[in-house]
Structure 1
Protein backbone atom coordinates (compact mmCIF):
# COMPACT_ATOMS: atom_id res chain seq x y z
CA UNK A 1 0.00 0.00 0.00
CA UNK A 2 2.82 2.43 0.75
CA UNK A 3 4.01 4.62 -2.10
CA UNK A 4 6.54 6.60 -0.05
CA UNK A 5 10.24 6.58 -0.82
CA UNK A 6 11.76 4.89 1.07
CA UNK A 7 8.80 2.64 1.75
CA UNK A 8 7.29 2.54 5.21
CA UNK A 9 7.43 -0.59 7.39
CA UNK A 10 4.84 -3.24 6.58
CA UNK A 11 2.00 -4.10 8.94
CA UNK A 12 3.90 -7.25 9.95
CA UNK A 13 7.11 -5.41 10.83
CA UNK A 14 8.11 -4.83 14.43
CA UNK A 15 8.42 -1.11 13.65
CA UNK A 16 5.00 -0.84 11.91
CA UNK A 17 4.12 2.23 14.02
CA UNK A 18 6.80 4.22 12.15
CA UNK A 19 4.64 4.30 8.99
CA UNK A 20 3.21 7.64 7.89
CA UNK A 21 -0.25 8.72 9.04
CA UNK A 22 -2.62 9.04 6.06
CA UNK A 23 -5.79 9.79 8.04
CA UNK A 24 -5.69 11.17 11.55
CA UNK A 25 -8.71 11.55 13.81
CA UNK A 26 -7.34 12.62 17.20
CA UNK A 27 -10.80 13.70 18.31
CA UNK A 28 -11.84 10.04 17.95
CA UNK A 29 -8.55 8.62 19.25
CA UNK A 30 -7.23 6.82 16.16
CA UNK A 31 -5.06 7.20 13.08
CA UNK A 32 -4.71 5.16 9.88
CA UNK A 33 -1.15 4.49 8.79
CA UNK A 34 -0.12 3.99 5.16
CA UNK A 35 0.58 0.30 5.86
CA UNK A 36 -3.09 -0.25 6.73
CA UNK A 37 -2.64 -0.33 10.51
CA UNK A 38 -5.16 1.49 12.68
CA UNK A 39 -3.36 2.84 15.72
CA UNK A 40 -5.27 4.04 18.77
CA UNK A 41 -4.37 6.63 21.41
CA UNK A 42 -4.21 3.90 24.07
CA UNK A 43 -1.37 2.32 21.98
CA UNK A 44 -3.55 -0.56 20.81
CA UNK A 45 -3.57 -1.48 17.13
CA UNK A 46 -5.81 -3.16 14.57
CA UNK A 47 -3.84 -4.82 11.79
CA UNK A 48 -5.15 -5.04 8.21
CA UNK A 49 -5.82 -8.79 8.53
CA UNK A 50 -8.06 -8.21 11.57
CA UNK A 51 -5.55 -9.14 14.28
CA UNK A 52 -5.60 -7.00 17.40
CA UNK A 53 -2.49 -5.77 19.18
CA UNK A 54 -3.26 -5.01 22.81
CA UNK A 55 -2.25 -1.62 24.23
CA UNK A 56 1.44 -1.64 25.14
CA UNK A 57 2.09 1.45 27.20
CA UNK A 58 5.14 1.44 29.44
CA UNK A 59 4.11 0.17 32.85
CA UNK A 60 7.29 0.81 34.80
CA UNK A 61 7.23 2.85 37.98
CA UNK A 62 9.76 5.38 39.14
CA UNK A 63 11.77 4.26 42.13
CA UNK A 64 12.26 6.98 44.72
CA UNK A 65 15.65 5.49 45.56
CA UNK A 66 16.75 5.84 41.92
CA UNK A 67 15.58 9.45 41.82
CA UNK A 68 17.71 10.41 44.82
Structure 2
Protein backbone atom coordinates (compact mmCIF):
# COMPACT_ATOMS: atom_id res chain seq x y z
CA UNK A 1 0.00 0.00 0.00
CA UNK A 2 2.84 2.38 0.81
CA UNK A 3 4.08 4.41 -2.15
CA UNK A 4 6.18 7.10 -0.45
CA UNK A 5 9.87 6.94 0.48
CA UNK A 6 11.12 5.75 2.84
CA UNK A 7 8.50 3.03 2.85
CA UNK A 8 6.46 2.45 5.99
CA UNK A 9 7.04 -0.73 7.99
CA UNK A 10 4.86 -3.64 6.89
CA UNK A 11 1.92 -4.78 8.99
CA UNK A 12 4.00 -7.82 10.06
CA UNK A 13 6.86 -5.67 11.34
CA UNK A 14 7.26 -5.12 15.12
CA UNK A 15 7.08 -1.34 14.54
CA UNK A 16 4.05 -1.50 12.21
CA UNK A 17 2.20 1.11 14.28
CA UNK A 18 4.71 3.81 13.18
CA UNK A 19 3.37 3.82 9.60
CA UNK A 20 1.89 7.05 8.19
CA UNK A 21 -1.79 7.77 8.92
CA UNK A 22 -3.71 7.91 5.64
CA UNK A 23 -7.19 8.38 7.07
CA UNK A 24 -7.97 9.65 10.57
CA UNK A 25 -11.39 9.43 12.20
CA UNK A 26 -10.87 10.76 15.74
CA UNK A 27 -14.61 11.26 16.20
CA UNK A 28 -14.99 7.48 15.78
CA UNK A 29 -11.78 6.58 17.61
CA UNK A 30 -9.72 4.99 14.82
CA UNK A 31 -7.16 5.69 12.09
CA UNK A 32 -6.05 3.77 8.99
CA UNK A 33 -2.29 3.46 8.52
CA UNK A 34 -0.46 3.27 5.20
CA UNK A 35 0.32 -0.43 5.74
CA UNK A 36 -3.37 -1.33 6.09
CA UNK A 37 -3.43 -1.49 9.89
CA UNK A 38 -6.36 0.11 11.71
CA UNK A 39 -5.39 1.54 15.09
CA UNK A 40 -7.92 2.42 17.75
CA UNK A 41 -7.77 5.08 20.45
CA UNK A 42 -7.75 2.39 23.15
CA UNK A 43 -4.42 1.14 21.63
CA UNK A 44 -6.03 -1.94 20.06
CA UNK A 45 -5.28 -2.73 16.41
CA UNK A 46 -6.80 -4.62 13.50
CA UNK A 47 -4.19 -5.97 11.09
CA UNK A 48 -4.86 -6.27 7.34
CA UNK A 49 -5.08 -10.07 7.54
CA UNK A 50 -7.87 -9.82 10.14
CA UNK A 51 -5.77 -10.53 13.24
CA UNK A 52 -6.64 -8.49 16.31
CA UNK A 53 -4.04 -6.89 18.59
CA UNK A 54 -5.55 -6.37 22.04
CA UNK A 55 -5.20 -2.96 23.68
CA UNK A 56 -1.84 -2.72 25.40
CA UNK A 57 -2.07 0.44 27.44
CA UNK A 58 -1.18 0.18 31.06
CA UNK A 59 -3.80 1.10 33.57
CA UNK A 60 -2.79 3.26 36.48
CA UNK A 61 -3.81 2.68 40.05
CA UNK A 62 -6.29 4.89 41.81
CA UNK A 63 -5.03 6.95 44.69
CA UNK A 64 -7.24 6.72 47.74
CA UNK A 65 -7.26 9.60 50.19
CA UNK A 66 -7.31 8.52 53.84
Q: What is the TM-score of this pair, normalised by structure 2?
A: 0.87
Structure 1: give runs of 5+ residues left out of the alignment: 62-68
- Which residue in the other structure is 2:8 paired with? 8
RMSD of equivalent CA atoms: 1.1
Distance in 1 (CA, whole Å) between partners of 2:59 and 2:15 is: 20
Distance in 2 (CA, whole Å) between partners of 1:17 and 1:58 is: 17
Runs of 4+ in structure 1 off by over 3 angstroms are: none
> How far did 1:60 drift?
6.0
Write out per-residue CA displacement over residues 28-58 of structure 1, whole angstroms, 9 at most, x where no aligned residue.
Answer: 0000000000000000000000000000003
- Which residue in the other structure is 2:27 paired with? 27
Q: What is the TM-score of this pair, normalised by structure 1?
A: 0.84
Query: How many pairs are equivalent?
Result: 61
